[in-house]
Chain A
Amino acid sequence: MSTLQITKSIDARGMACPGPLMNLIGAIRQGQVGDLFEVLSSDAGSKTDIPAWVAKAKHELVEVREDNGFAHFIVRKAR
């Protein structure tokens, strides 16, 4: 399936909203343009918040995948 080279994976499962999003923002700020970040989140808010923030901040949502009780988000730092 996914053969993407993940720069940093953030396991935020169990964290309450808006924790997973805040962890992603912190990681992206420290990363380089082109880096790929993976977030695992069981927080329902992430499903709306991560795509909304990624669009607003003009990064790229590469993949959203539902797993058993959580979701994977892959985001490319675009700027």
Chain B
Amino acid sequence: MDEQEKPLSLVLFSGTDDKLSAAAVLTVGAAVMGRPVNIFLQYYALRAFRAGTVHADHALAWEATDAVAPVIRAHPGQHWSELLKQAKEVGEVNIQACALSMDMFHLRPADLDPIVDGVEGVAAFMASASDGQVVFI
């Protein structure tokens, strides 16, 4: 993995466990394949990363009907926060809170789970994204 790969940049907006899990799986995949991953936490996703709330029930997206939701909840996959930790161990993953969302919810950096690396503005996130893809989830 010597050649420099283009970064993958994920904007996490939704705070439901299914979308966070899907985003965490993408992060692991990119990280193990040598791509730097930038994650920008906005709105409901940021709220899910508050200290002490990471393992709370963050519900599922609206597509999760009564028939589908139990199937998702019964799946033995790892929690999204564990997947993100593993991605950080094997690759280059940087998780930043959106400064605007921090302000909106009256959050300080100390209010966030330690898995979050810092707080930044959108221009700094876009600078990190450079010419790699930006995915909004």
Residues of A near any B CB (own CB < 8 A): 14-19, 21-22, 25-26, 29, 49, 52-53, 56-58
Contacts and interface: CB of A to CB of B under 8 A. Distances in A.
25 contacts: A14-B76, A15-B76, A16-B75, A16-B76, A16-B77, A17-B25, A17-B77, A18-B25, A18-B28, A18-B29, A18-B32, A18-B83, A19-B77, A22-B28, A22-B32, A22-B86, A25-B32, A25-B90, A29-B90, A52-B33, A53-B32, A53-B33, A56-B1, A56-B33, A57-B1
Given A16-B76, A25-B90, A56 B28 contact: no
Nearest to A53: B32
Interface residues on B, range: 10 to 19
B37 to A, nearest CB: 14
B78 interface: yes
8 closest Cβ contacts across the A-B interface? A16-B77, A18-B28, A22-B86, A56-B33, A16-B76, A25-B90, A53-B32, A57-B1
A19 B34 CA distance: 18
A47 B126 CA distance: 35
Interface of B: 1, 25, 28-29, 32-34, 75-78, 83, 86, 90
A16 B78 contact: yes
B86 to A, nearest CB: 5
Contacts of A18: 25, 28-29, 32, 83
Contacts of A57: 1
Q: By CB atoms of chain B within 10 A, which of A15, A22, A53, A56 has the most?
A: A22
Contacts of B90: 22, 25-26, 29
A20 B83 CA distance: 13
Contacts of B34: 56
A56 B1 CA distance: 6
Contacts of B32: 18, 21-22, 25, 53, 56
Contacts of A15: 76
